[in-house]
Structure 1
Amino acid sequence: MAPDHADPDSLGQLHHVELSVSDLEASIDFWEWWLTELGYEPKNEWDGGRSWINGPTYVGIVEATGDTPAFDGRAPGLNHLAFHADTRERVDYLTECVRTRTDSTVLYEDQHPYAGGYYALYCESPEGIKLEAIGPEPREET
């Protein structure tokens, strides 16, 4: 398991993201599925939170406390999180999985999978956080 301190070989790469969620148990199911599909492994589990790691980067979720407003990607702050996918087939697989889940929604269905001008899945987490899984350019046959 990677240490929590900085990796000097990862200059400028994201170290971690921690997201507050209103329903930890419901969110664990979604985030564990999403992150595992994208190559993350469990990192830590504690009362009130979980985290998953992939290389030098980890993503954590913590249960929100107090009376906090719902996530709004149009308000100042976080708009969305975008993840690399290793293949377009993985993007397609994630899309089909999201379509069968009750806690997530495919966004921009009428433009899918090129809603952003490149091959990607746009969806929402249970908390309404917009997520992307971006596929690579097609490989040229040699």
Structure 2
Amino acid sequence: MPPTGFHHVELWVADLALVEPSWSWLLGELGWELYQNWPAGRSWRIGDMYLVVEQSSAVRPGLPYDRLRAGLNHLAVHAPDRGTVDRIQAAGPANGWQHLFADSYPHAGGAEHYAAYLADTAGFEVEVVAPAERGPDLAG
């Protein structure tokens, strides 16, 4: 059976120059590689998935993006370990990300969920999730 999951995700932004540095930093920290680079956009990939951030000429003018309106609320991405989540949480503000739910970091998603919640300057939220810790092996 072929793999399932996302092939790619495309975020349309009003100002690529405003958000590209923060996305480039975050995805680079998570091991994503720059995949495509053109005047109106960038894409990064990891494995066979990729993420596009594009300032498309087809974007309709109007209200700015609001993650609390109908549509995309946030992207959740895997981190390889808790140390990476901690490093991203610590360095996020210096790289264009603001903390969300900082008062309950790293367990804003619950006691068993270890994640950083960040928003870029355009308001897009990313949840950086560490793998669940495995308990002691109780077999045998």
Q: Which range, TM-score by smaller chain?
A: 0.7 to 0.9
Aligned partner of 1:82 in structure 2 is 76
Q: CA deviation at 1:125?
A: 1.5
> Are residue 112 (structure 1) and residue 112 (structure 2) matched?
no
- Partners of 1:45 and 1:99 in 2: CA distance: 25
> Are residue 30 (structure 1) and residue 22 (structure 2) matched?
yes
- Partners of 2:84 and 2:136 in 1: CA distance: 20
> Are residue 99 (structure 1) and residue 96 (structure 2) matched?
no
Q: CA deviation at 1:100?
A: 2.7
- Partners of 1:63 and 1:36 in 2: CA distance: 20
The 5 Å alignment of 1:35-54 reads: 35-54=27-46
Change (3 A) 1:45 1:99: closer
CA offsets, 1:11-44, max 9 Å, x none? 2x10111111122122221111111111211111
Identity across matched positions, percent: 35
Aligned partner of 2:6 in structure 1 is 14
- Partners of 2:27 and 2:9 in 1: CA distance: 12
Q: CA deviation at 1:69?
A: 2.1
The answer for unaligned runs of 5 or more in structure 2 is none
Read off the aligned partner of 1:76 and give its amino acid letter. Answer: A
Q: Is the 8 Å Cα contact of residues 10 and 56 (structure 1) preserved in structure 2?
A: no
User: How large is the RMSD of aligned CA atoms in angstroms?
Assistant: 1.7
- Partners of 1:92 and 1:46 in 2: CA distance: 32
Q: Secondary structure at the match of 1:137?
A: coil
Q: CA deviation at 1:9?
A: 3.0
Aligned partner of 1:4 in structure 2 is none
Read off the aligned partner of 2:132 and give its amino acid letter. Answer: E
Q: CA deviation at 1:140?
A: 4.5
Find the partner of 1:72 among 46, 55, 66: 66
- Partners of 1:32 and 1:25 in 2: CA distance: 11
- TM-score of the pair, normalised by structure 1: 0.85
The answer for unaligned runs of 5 or more in structure 1 is 1-7
Read off the aligned partner of 1:135 and give its amino acid letter. Answer: A
Read off the aligned partner of 1:97 and give its amino acid letter. Answer: A
- Partners of 1:46 and 1:86 in 2: CA distance: 29
- TM-score of the pair, normalised by structure 2: 0.86
